[in-house]
């Protein structure tokens, strides 16, 4: 209970301070996204939160809606311009997510909120990642982010659920700063993003 109180208090203070002090950066990024990528400026998508409750995740848009002659979206690599990649490498696309934290839908630290469509594909152990609020950063993010496999990601997520503490959260935040500065783990091998999760090899 003490941990939950401390965590929520930290989330509120961190989100408010982030939105306040980074407001000039948020405004500039919003304008640049509008100029370089067009509308909408925000990427809004339903994601599962704690206990699988669905909420609307907000991020700055980083990809175009470029399509082929048949109207199908092009590959991630073709839709992610250099500007969008830079946003991701600096995690600037995550700034609107502070509003999700302020609303209590997310935490600063926790397993990343993934696609709603993935939920039926989790095995019992992987599904335990939803026992806590999803986070902007997490144990999987500082241990490889998109450069590791899905099974590794889930192992890190579940490890966090079993070992969560306020000190661990602070450690993850500190490690995240280093990862952002070094721009590590942004892309998966052979793609600019993680491939779709189709079920665990260890089910």
What's the pLDDT tens digit per position in 2-52?
899 999 999 999 999 999 999 999 999 999 999 998 889 999 999 999 999
Give me the pLDDT at residue 188, please. 47
Alpha-carbon radius of gyration of the chain: 17
The candidate with the shortest Cα–Cα distance to 55, out of 102, 106, 15, is 106
pLDDT-wise least confident of 91-105, 113-127, 139-153: 139-153
| 82, 113, 167 from 47: Cα distances, Å | 26, 6, 27
| 35, 125, 151, 175, 195 from 148: Cα distances, Å | 33, 18, 8, 17, 11
Does the pLDDT of residue 88 top 90, yes or no? no
Give me the pLDDT at residue 191, please. 53
Average pLDDT over residues 85-110: 93
- Measured CA to CA, the distance from residue 61 to residue 95 in angstroms comes to 11
- Sign, CA torsion 44/76/115/11: negative
**pLDDT confidence band for 184 (50 / 70 / 90):** low
Give me the pLDDT at residue 6, please. 93
Residue 57: Cβ-neighbour burial (10 angstroms; 0-12, 13-18, 19+): buried
Give me the pLDDT at residue 110, please. 96
Q: Backbone dihedral region of 145: left (phi > 0), alpha (psi from -120 to 50 degrees) or beta?
A: left
- Measured CA to CA, the distance from residue 118 to residue 196 in angstroms comes to 9
Mean pLDDT, rounded, of the chain: 89
pLDDT-wise least confident of 28-37, 69-78, 136-145, 162-171: 69-78
């Amino acid at each position: 209970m003490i941990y939950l109180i401390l965590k929520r208090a930290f989330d509120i203070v961190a989100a408010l301070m982030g939105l306040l002090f980074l407001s000039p950066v948020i405004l500039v990024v919003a304008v640049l996204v509008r100029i370089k990528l067009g509308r909408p400026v925000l990427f809004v998508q339903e994601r599962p939160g704690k206990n699988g409750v669905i909420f609307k995740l907000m991020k700055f848009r980083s990809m175009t809606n470029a399509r082929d002659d048949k109207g199908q979206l092009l590959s991630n690599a073709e839709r992610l311009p250099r500007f969008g990649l830079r946003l991701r490498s600096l995690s600037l696309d995550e700034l609107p997510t502070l509003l999700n934290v302020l609303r209590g839908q997310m935490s600063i630290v926790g397993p990343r909120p993934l696609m709603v469509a993935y939920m039926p594909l989790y095995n019992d152990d992987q599904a335990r990642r939803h026992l806590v609020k999803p986070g902007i950063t997490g144990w999987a993010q500082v241990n490889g982010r998109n450069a590791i496999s899905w099974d590794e990601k889930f192992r890190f997520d579940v490890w966090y659920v079993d070992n969560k503490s306020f000190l661990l959260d602070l450690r993850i935040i500190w490690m995240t700063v280093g990862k952002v500065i070094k721009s590590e783990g942004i892309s998966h091998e052979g793609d600019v993003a993680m491939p779709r999760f189709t079920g665990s090899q260890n089910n």
